[in-house]
């Protein structure tokens, strides 16, 4: 199977193409949350303690650009913007779940338990 170009970028295979759209540290966490409910910028941010404003903005833009989420702006002050998942976005959920389940398996085998609040290296 051959390489291909799209939007001036070279891909070696379909997996790479898929991960270009939904990979990276933040895209799946965002889609995961928006699949459960419509959320505002600040709400998303609070739910992901480590993300920076810049990252959240740019990832939301990317996801919107690929049609996975929708952005709705309310003309109020202070600003209010709501993000929701689209039908296209919902199609990545099964993929995400496959990856997540595989990750959970690997974690279990590695002896990692993630209960609410605590996680990490083994306990006595």
Give me the residues that bind a second copy (CB under 8 A), please: 1-6, 12-19, 21, 23, 25, 28-29, 48, 50, 91-92, 94-96, 98-107, 110, 112, 114-121
Q: Could you say which of a second copy, DNA, none residue 114 binds, taking C-beta under 5 to 8 angstroms by partner kind?
A: a second copy
CB 10 within 8 A of CB 3: yes
Does 57 contact DNA by CB under 7 A? yes
Q: Which of 36, 37, 54, 115 binds DNA (CB under 7 A)?
A: 54
- Supply the minimum distance, in Å, between the C-beta of residue 22 and DNA: 12
């Amino acid at each position: 199977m051959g390489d291909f170009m799209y939007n001036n970028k070279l891909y070696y295979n379909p997996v790479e193409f898929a991960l270009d759209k939904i990979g990276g540290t933040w895209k799946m966490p965002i889609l995961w949350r928006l699949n459960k409910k419509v959320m505002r910028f600040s709400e998303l941010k609070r739910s992901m303690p480590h993300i920076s404003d810049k990252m959240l903005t740019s990832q939301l833009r990317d996801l919107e650009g690929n049609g996975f989420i929708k952005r709705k702006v309310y003309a109020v002050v202070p600003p209010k913007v709501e993000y929701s998942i689209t039908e296209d976005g919902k199609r990545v959920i099964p993929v995400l779940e496959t990856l997540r389940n595989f990750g959970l398996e690997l974690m279990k085998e590695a002896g990692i338990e993630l209960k609410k609040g605590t996680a990490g290296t083994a306990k006595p």
